[in-house]
Structure 1
Amino acid sequence: MYKSTGSQVKNEFNRSRHAAFLLHVHIVFVTKYRRKVFGELHINSARQYVSEVCTEFGAELKECDGEADHLHMLIEYPPTVQITKLVNSLKAVTSRRLRNEYLDLRAAYSKPVLWSRSYFAGSCGGAPLEVVKKYIQNQRG
Protein backbone atom coordinates (compact mmCIF):
# COMPACT_ATOMS: atom_id res chain seq x y z
CA MET A 1 0.00 0.00 0.00
CA TYR A 2 1.53 3.28 -1.07
CA LYS A 3 0.40 6.81 -0.42
CA SER A 4 1.14 9.56 -2.91
CA THR A 5 2.23 12.85 -1.36
CA GLY A 6 2.68 15.21 -4.28
CA SER A 7 5.77 14.20 -6.24
CA GLN A 8 6.87 11.76 -3.53
CA VAL A 9 5.59 8.25 -2.94
CA LYS A 10 5.61 7.33 0.74
CA ASN A 11 5.83 3.66 1.70
CA GLU A 12 3.25 3.00 4.44
CA PHE A 13 4.44 -0.50 5.29
CA ASN A 14 6.20 -1.06 8.57
CA ARG A 15 9.45 -2.93 8.38
CA SER A 16 11.40 -5.14 10.70
CA ARG A 17 14.60 -7.02 9.97
CA HIS A 18 12.83 -9.83 8.12
CA ALA A 19 9.34 -8.54 7.37
CA ALA A 20 7.27 -5.79 5.86
CA PHE A 21 3.82 -5.51 7.38
CA LEU A 22 0.73 -3.37 7.79
CA LEU A 23 -1.64 -4.96 10.31
CA HIS A 24 -4.65 -3.33 11.92
CA VAL A 25 -7.27 -4.72 14.28
CA HIS A 26 -10.60 -3.23 15.34
CA ILE A 27 -11.30 -4.23 18.96
CA VAL A 28 -14.51 -3.62 20.91
CA PHE A 29 -14.94 -4.12 24.65
CA VAL A 30 -18.39 -4.11 26.26
CA THR A 31 -19.02 -3.28 29.90
CA LYS A 32 -20.17 -6.07 32.20
CA TYR A 33 -23.95 -6.52 31.96
CA ARG A 34 -23.84 -3.80 29.27
CA ARG A 35 -24.22 -1.19 32.01
CA LYS A 36 -24.01 2.40 30.82
CA VAL A 37 -21.22 3.55 33.11
CA PHE A 38 -18.93 5.63 30.86
CA GLY A 39 -18.88 9.37 30.41
CA GLU A 40 -16.49 11.63 28.53
CA LEU A 41 -13.84 11.54 31.30
CA HIS A 42 -13.88 7.75 31.48
CA ILE A 43 -13.42 7.40 27.72
CA ASN A 44 -10.60 9.97 27.64
CA SER A 45 -8.76 8.14 30.43
CA ALA A 46 -9.36 4.77 28.74
CA ARG A 47 -7.87 6.20 25.53
CA GLN A 48 -4.70 7.17 27.41
CA TYR A 49 -4.37 3.77 29.11
CA VAL A 50 -4.99 1.88 25.85
CA SER A 51 -2.31 3.96 24.15
CA GLU A 52 0.19 3.16 26.92
CA VAL A 53 -0.50 -0.59 26.70
CA CYS A 54 -0.18 -0.50 22.91
CA THR A 55 3.21 1.20 23.21
CA GLU A 56 4.40 -1.58 25.55
CA PHE A 57 3.45 -4.11 22.85
CA GLY A 58 5.16 -2.16 20.07
CA ALA A 59 1.73 -1.31 18.67
CA GLU A 60 0.08 2.05 18.01
CA LEU A 61 -3.41 3.21 18.91
CA LYS A 62 -4.84 4.86 15.79
CA GLU A 63 -8.33 5.65 17.08
CA CYS A 64 -10.32 5.11 20.27
CA ASP A 65 -13.83 6.17 21.21
CA GLY A 66 -17.00 4.73 22.59
CA GLU A 67 -20.34 5.20 24.25
CA ALA A 68 -21.70 4.64 27.74
CA ASP A 69 -21.47 0.84 27.51
CA HIS A 70 -18.63 0.02 25.10
CA LEU A 71 -15.24 1.10 23.76
CA HIS A 72 -13.90 0.83 20.18
CA MET A 73 -10.16 0.75 19.38
CA LEU A 74 -8.29 0.73 16.09
CA ILE A 75 -4.77 -0.57 16.66
CA GLU A 76 -1.84 -1.01 14.30
CA TYR A 77 0.38 -3.84 15.49
CA PRO A 78 3.49 -5.80 14.47
CA PRO A 79 3.25 -9.48 13.50
CA THR A 80 4.98 -10.49 16.74
CA VAL A 81 1.93 -9.44 18.79
CA GLN A 82 -0.65 -12.07 19.71
CA ILE A 83 -4.07 -10.41 19.66
CA THR A 84 -5.33 -12.45 22.63
CA LYS A 85 -2.41 -11.30 24.77
CA LEU A 86 -2.93 -7.70 23.70
CA VAL A 87 -6.67 -7.93 24.46
CA ASN A 88 -6.06 -9.51 27.88
CA SER A 89 -3.55 -6.82 28.79
CA LEU A 90 -5.83 -4.02 27.53
CA LYS A 91 -8.76 -5.37 29.53
CA ALA A 92 -6.76 -5.87 32.73
CA VAL A 93 -4.96 -2.53 32.66
CA THR A 94 -7.95 -0.40 31.65
CA SER A 95 -10.26 -2.11 34.14
CA ARG A 96 -7.84 -1.77 37.03
CA ARG A 97 -6.78 1.80 36.30
CA LEU A 98 -10.26 3.12 35.50
CA ARG A 99 -11.74 1.56 38.65
CA ASN A 100 -8.90 2.99 40.75
CA GLU A 101 -9.32 6.45 39.25
CA TYR A 102 -13.12 6.68 39.24
CA LEU A 103 -15.10 5.69 42.32
CA ASP A 104 -18.36 5.66 40.32
CA LEU A 105 -17.03 2.74 38.24
CA ARG A 106 -16.04 0.85 41.37
CA ALA A 107 -19.54 1.41 42.81
CA ALA A 108 -21.27 0.20 39.63
CA TYR A 109 -20.30 -3.43 40.31
CA SER A 110 -20.18 -5.50 43.48
CA LYS A 111 -17.01 -7.28 42.29
CA PRO A 112 -13.80 -5.80 40.86
CA VAL A 113 -14.92 -6.02 37.22
CA LEU A 114 -15.52 -3.58 34.39
CA TRP A 115 -15.54 -5.51 31.11
CA SER A 116 -17.64 -8.40 29.89
CA ARG A 117 -15.61 -11.58 29.31
CA SER A 118 -16.36 -11.39 25.58
CA TYR A 119 -14.87 -9.00 23.05
CA PHE A 120 -14.81 -8.33 19.32
CA ALA A 121 -11.60 -8.31 17.28
CA GLY A 122 -11.79 -7.81 13.53
CA SER A 123 -9.09 -7.55 10.92
CA CYS A 124 -9.24 -4.29 9.01
CA GLY A 125 -7.37 -5.47 5.96
CA GLY A 126 -10.36 -5.35 3.63
CA ALA A 127 -11.96 -2.06 4.69
CA PRO A 128 -10.26 1.25 4.05
CA LEU A 129 -8.88 2.43 7.38
CA GLU A 130 -10.45 5.86 6.97
CA VAL A 131 -13.88 4.19 6.86
CA VAL A 132 -13.15 2.32 10.10
CA LYS A 133 -11.76 5.51 11.71
CA LYS A 134 -14.90 7.47 10.75
CA TYR A 135 -17.09 4.68 12.12
CA ILE A 136 -15.27 4.82 15.46
CA GLN A 137 -15.33 8.64 15.55
CA ASN A 138 -19.09 8.65 14.90
CA GLN A 139 -19.97 6.19 17.68
CA ARG A 140 -21.56 8.87 19.82
CA GLY A 141 -24.07 10.04 17.24
Structure 2
Amino acid sequence: MTRQVRPSPGAAYDLGYHVVWCPKCRRPVLGGRVKARLEELIHARADEHGWQIVALEVMPDRVHLFVEPHPENSPSYVANQFKGFTSHHLRAECAHLRSQLPTLWSRSCFVAAVGAVSAGTVRRHIDTQDERAPRASVRA
Protein backbone atom coordinates (compact mmCIF):
# COMPACT_ATOMS: atom_id res chain seq x y z
CA MET A 1 0.00 0.00 0.00
CA THR A 2 1.46 3.34 -0.99
CA ARG A 3 1.19 6.40 1.17
CA GLN A 4 -1.52 8.79 0.17
CA VAL A 5 -0.99 12.28 1.49
CA ARG A 6 -4.29 14.16 1.58
CA PRO A 7 -4.51 17.95 1.52
CA SER A 8 -6.62 20.10 3.81
CA PRO A 9 -6.63 23.87 4.36
CA GLY A 10 -3.28 24.65 5.94
CA ALA A 11 -2.02 21.05 6.14
CA ALA A 12 -1.23 17.84 4.34
CA TYR A 13 -1.69 14.58 6.20
CA ASP A 14 -1.50 10.81 6.06
CA LEU A 15 -3.38 9.68 9.15
CA GLY A 16 -5.15 6.44 9.89
CA TYR A 17 -6.74 4.90 12.96
CA HIS A 18 -7.37 1.24 13.70
CA VAL A 19 -10.50 1.28 15.87
CA VAL A 20 -11.96 -1.78 17.62
CA TRP A 21 -15.10 -1.84 19.77
CA CYS A 22 -17.38 -4.52 21.17
CA PRO A 23 -21.01 -4.95 22.19
CA LYS A 24 -21.74 -4.74 25.91
CA CYS A 25 -20.42 -7.88 27.66
CA ARG A 26 -19.01 -8.93 24.27
CA ARG A 27 -22.34 -10.51 23.33
CA PRO A 28 -22.35 -11.99 19.79
CA VAL A 29 -25.26 -9.90 18.45
CA LEU A 30 -23.68 -8.46 15.28
CA GLY A 31 -24.79 -11.05 12.74
CA GLY A 32 -27.15 -11.23 9.79
CA ARG A 33 -29.39 -8.21 9.30
CA VAL A 34 -27.72 -6.29 12.15
CA LYS A 35 -24.28 -6.75 10.55
CA ALA A 36 -25.47 -5.49 7.16
CA ARG A 37 -27.19 -2.45 8.68
CA LEU A 38 -24.19 -1.69 10.91
CA GLU A 39 -21.88 -1.64 7.88
CA GLU A 40 -24.27 0.75 6.09
CA LEU A 41 -24.40 3.05 9.11
CA ILE A 42 -20.60 3.09 9.52
CA HIS A 43 -20.15 4.04 5.86
CA ALA A 44 -22.87 6.70 6.15
CA ARG A 45 -21.23 8.29 9.20
CA ALA A 46 -17.81 8.29 7.54
CA ASP A 47 -19.30 9.95 4.45
CA GLU A 48 -20.96 12.65 6.59
CA HIS A 49 -17.57 13.58 8.07
CA GLY A 50 -15.56 13.12 4.87
CA TRP A 51 -13.55 10.24 6.38
CA GLN A 52 -12.27 7.39 4.23
CA ILE A 53 -12.85 3.80 5.32
CA VAL A 54 -9.91 1.65 4.26
CA ALA A 55 -11.05 -1.64 5.83
CA LEU A 56 -14.04 -2.79 7.86
CA GLU A 57 -14.75 -6.16 9.45
CA VAL A 58 -17.89 -6.71 11.50
CA MET A 59 -17.69 -9.91 13.54
CA PRO A 60 -20.42 -11.29 15.83
CA ASP A 61 -18.71 -9.87 18.95
CA ARG A 62 -16.60 -6.94 17.73
CA VAL A 63 -15.98 -4.37 15.00
CA HIS A 64 -12.59 -3.66 13.40
CA LEU A 65 -12.34 -0.44 11.44
CA PHE A 66 -9.41 1.20 9.65
CA VAL A 67 -10.42 4.78 8.95
CA GLU A 68 -8.58 7.84 7.68
CA PRO A 69 -10.10 10.90 9.40
CA HIS A 70 -9.13 14.55 9.25
CA PRO A 71 -6.23 15.52 11.55
CA GLU A 72 -8.42 17.83 13.64
CA ASN A 73 -10.51 14.82 14.80
CA SER A 74 -9.15 13.08 17.88
CA PRO A 75 -9.13 9.29 18.11
CA SER A 76 -11.78 9.29 20.85
CA TYR A 77 -14.00 11.62 18.80
CA VAL A 78 -13.78 9.32 15.78
CA ALA A 79 -14.58 6.20 17.81
CA ASN A 80 -17.46 7.89 19.64
CA GLN A 81 -18.98 9.18 16.41
CA PHE A 82 -19.26 5.64 15.07
CA LYS A 83 -20.37 4.08 18.36
CA GLY A 84 -23.00 6.70 19.21
CA PHE A 85 -24.48 6.98 15.73
CA THR A 86 -24.72 3.23 15.16
CA SER A 87 -26.08 2.51 18.63
CA HIS A 88 -28.85 5.09 18.26
CA HIS A 89 -29.99 3.76 14.90
CA LEU A 90 -29.58 0.02 15.54
CA ARG A 91 -31.43 0.13 18.86
CA ALA A 92 -34.26 2.11 17.24
CA GLU A 93 -34.54 -0.36 14.35
CA CYS A 94 -33.91 -3.69 16.14
CA ALA A 95 -36.10 -4.30 19.19
CA HIS A 96 -34.19 -7.45 20.14
CA LEU A 97 -31.07 -5.35 20.78
CA ARG A 98 -32.99 -3.16 23.25
CA SER A 99 -34.33 -6.19 25.10
CA GLN A 100 -31.01 -8.10 25.21
CA LEU A 101 -28.64 -5.30 26.20
CA PRO A 102 -28.95 -2.23 28.44
CA THR A 103 -26.64 -0.40 26.00
CA LEU A 104 -25.36 -1.69 22.67
CA TRP A 105 -21.66 -0.91 22.98
CA SER A 106 -19.25 -1.31 25.87
CA ARG A 107 -17.84 1.98 27.14
CA SER A 108 -14.30 1.17 26.07
CA CYS A 109 -12.64 0.82 22.69
CA PHE A 110 -9.18 0.33 21.21
CA VAL A 111 -7.68 2.97 18.93
CA ALA A 112 -4.19 2.87 17.41
CA ALA A 113 -2.72 5.39 15.04
CA VAL A 114 -1.25 3.71 12.00
CA GLY A 115 2.44 4.49 11.90
CA ALA A 116 4.17 2.09 14.27
CA VAL A 117 3.23 -0.58 11.74
CA SER A 118 2.45 -0.06 8.09
CA ALA A 119 -1.07 0.62 6.89
CA GLY A 120 -0.83 -2.59 4.85
CA THR A 121 -0.19 -4.60 8.01
CA VAL A 122 -3.24 -3.12 9.72
CA ARG A 123 -5.38 -3.79 6.67
CA ARG A 124 -4.22 -7.45 6.50
CA HIS A 125 -4.93 -7.81 10.23
CA ILE A 126 -8.49 -6.57 9.79
CA ASP A 127 -9.10 -8.53 6.59
CA THR A 128 -8.02 -11.82 8.22
CA GLN A 129 -9.98 -11.48 11.47
CA ASP A 130 -12.63 -14.00 10.42
CA GLU A 131 -9.89 -16.56 9.62
CA ARG A 132 -8.44 -16.48 13.13
CA ALA A 133 -9.55 -18.95 15.76
CA PRO A 134 -11.27 -17.27 18.71
CA ARG A 135 -9.23 -17.24 21.90
CA ALA A 136 -10.78 -18.51 25.09
CA SER A 137 -11.39 -15.70 27.53
CA VAL A 138 -9.64 -15.91 30.84
CA ARG A 139 -11.70 -15.04 33.87
CA ALA A 140 -10.35 -14.63 37.36
So what's the TM-score if we normalise by structure 1? 0.83
Alignment partner, residue 137 of structure 1 = 127
Quote how far apart the aligned CAs of 1:100 are.
2.0
Is 1:120 the equivalent of 2:110?
Answer: yes
Alignment partner, residue 4 of structure 2 = 12
Letter in 2 for 1:54: A
CA distance in structure 2 between the partners assigned to 1:16 and 1:54 by the alignment: 17
- Say which is worse superposed, 51-60 or 72-81, in terms of deviation: 51-60
Identity %, equivalent residues: 27
Number of residue-to-residue matches in the alignment? 131
What is the RMSD computed on CA atoms of the aligned residues? 1.8
Q: Is there any run of 5+ residues in structure 1 with no aligned partner, and where?
A: 4-10
Query: Is residue 28–residue 72 contact of structure 1 (8 Å, CA) maintained in 2?
Result: yes
- Rg (Cα) greater in structure: 1
Query: Is residue 66–residue 140 contact of structure 1 (8 Å, CA) maintained in 2?
Result: no
Is 1:88 the equivalent of 2:88?
Answer: no
Alignment partner, residue 7 of structure 1 = none
So what's the TM-score if we normalise by structure 2? 0.83
Match of 1:22 among 5, 14, 29: 14
Letter in 2 for 1:12: Q
Is 1:39 the equivalent of 2:26?
Answer: no
Q: Is there any run of 5+ residues in structure 2 with no aligned partner, and where?
A: 132-140
Quote how far apart the aligned CAs of 1:19 are.
1.0
String of CA shifts for 1:70-106, please: whole Å, max 9, x gaps.
1011000111212222222211111111122223322
- Say which is worse superposed, 23-32 or 131-140, in terms of deviation: 131-140
Letter in 2 for 1:102: C
* Structure with a larger share of its residues in strand: 1
